[in-house]
């Protein structure tokens, strides 16, 4: 199966599962529900949940095992985008080729839609309707993984540093902190969630962690490159807006940043060599992340 076909099929699986989850929001106020669904179903790439599924499958397990957690991670990612776009943070008007959530529903509703998506994500992971066949210890371990990646020691911590050092000279160490926390942490958690659901042993989990950290950092550096030299119509959001932020392009330049993406991609591929042929799809996904144009 071609990678493009695989990504499309898994995206459909994720979105159907998300629609099932969203059906439980019928009792919520319509403006809130509409704002949540507006961003959740705004044609995202679904890279994080697809990574979780691909890793679980690489370990020979059904994607059904990891799907609730994959969806929860996508909900957390979506909440972060809604909040990131707010006037108090990045003040963006466009996301995925259409107006941002606060532009359509207002700042207050957008803020609360993000809050609701974050909270609902943890409800899904703890809801026996979705995880009744899972070992409670595994559920607890994955919830811990996701919470650690999304919270103060992960994504949120990285976002705060991103804000604090906007417009400042910064350092490569600060840049590394921002990128490894704001973006890489949740992608690493996606990979580890898939590995845990797949029954990965401790030694294997370490390899998957390297894979997740490598593709996660490659993803963010590629974002830096796309902001600097990408096509706004293809990317679907306002570009050339990160000139005052801590980016790889700012601290290393275009050439070195592109080389770093290539190095990280190869590190990811090497990390999963132990899977043999079962790791072929993960290698393709890593290379896709490093070469994407949107």
Q: Please determine, for residue 228, whether its predicted confidence score (pLDDT) is greater than 80.
A: yes
Distances (CA, A) of 264 to 110, 235, 238, 239, 257: 35, 22, 26, 24, 11
d(CA 193, CA 208): 10
CB 59 within 8 A of CB 208: no
What per-residue confidence (pLDDT) applies to 70?
Answer: 98
Q: Please determine, for residue 8, whether its predicted confidence score (pLDDT) is greater than 80.
A: yes
**Domain definitions of the chain by residue range:** 3-288
What per-residue confidence (pLDDT) applies to 238?
Answer: 64
Q: Please determine, for residue 279, whether its predicted confidence score (pLDDT) is greater than 70.
A: yes
Average pLDDT value for the chain: 95
CB 230 within 8 A of CB 293: yes
- Residues 13-24, mean pLDDT to the nearest whole number: 97
pLDDT band at 212 (very low <50, low <70, confident <90, very high): very high
Name the H helices within 127-229: 128-131, 136-150, 155-164, 172-182, 184-197, 202-229
- Residues 168-196, mean pLDDT to the nearest whole number: 97
**Over the stretch 113-125, which tens digit does the pLDDT of each residue have?**
999 999 999 999 9
- Residues 21-39, mean pLDDT to the nearest whole number: 97
Fold (CATH) for 3-288: Farnesyl Diphosphate Synthase (1.10.600)
pLDDT band at 147 (very low <50, low <70, confident <90, very high): very high
d(CA 23, CA 58): 30
State percent of the chain over pLDDT 90.
89
Distances (CA, A) of 144 to 66, 125, 150, 263: 15, 11, 10, 30
Q: What is the DSSP letter of 203?
A: H
d(CA 156, CA 168): 20
State percent of the chain over pLDDT 70.
96
pLDDT band at 234 (very low <50, low <70, confident <90, very high): low
If DSSP codes are grouped into helix, strand and coil, which group holds residue 237?
Answer: coil
Distances (CA, A) of 25 to 17, 34, 100, 225, 257: 14, 10, 21, 38, 43
């Amino acid at each position: 199966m071609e990678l493009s076909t695989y990504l499309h099929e898994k995206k459909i699986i994720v979105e159907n599962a998300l629609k099932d989850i969203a059906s439980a929001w019928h009792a919520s106020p319509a403006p809130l529900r509409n704002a949540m669904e507006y961003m959740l179903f705004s044609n995202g790439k679904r890279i994080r949940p697809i990574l979780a599924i691909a890793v679980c499958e690489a370990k020979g397990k059904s994607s059904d095992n990891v799907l609730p957690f994959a969806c929860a991670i996508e909900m957390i990612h979506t909440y972060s985008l809604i909040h990131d776009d707010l006037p108090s943070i990045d003040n963006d008007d466009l996301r995925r080729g259409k107006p941002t959530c606060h532009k359509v529903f207002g700042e207050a509703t957008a803020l609360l839609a993000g809050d609701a998506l974050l909270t609902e994500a943890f409800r899904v992971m703890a809801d026996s309707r979705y995880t009744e066949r899972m070992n409670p210890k595994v559920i607890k371990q994955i919830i811990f993984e996701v919470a650690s990646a999304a919270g103060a020691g992960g994504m949120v911590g990285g976002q705060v540093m991103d804000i604090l050092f906007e417009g400042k000279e910064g350092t490569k160490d600060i840049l590394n902190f921002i990128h490894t926390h704001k973006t890489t942490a949740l992608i690493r958690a996606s990979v580890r969630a898939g590995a845990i659901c797949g029954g990965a042993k401790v030694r294997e989990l370490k390899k998957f962690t390297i894979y997740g950290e490598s593709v996660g950092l490659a993803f963010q550096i590629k974002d830096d490159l796309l902001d600097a030299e990408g096509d706004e119509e293809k990317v679907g959001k306002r570009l050339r807006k990160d000139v005052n932020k801590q980016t790889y392009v700012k601290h290393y330049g275009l050439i070195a940043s592109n080389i770093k993406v290539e190095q990280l991609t190869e590190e990811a591929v090497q990390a999963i060599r132990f899977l043999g042929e079962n790791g072929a799809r993960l290698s393709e996904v890593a290379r896709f992340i490093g070469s994407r144009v949107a």
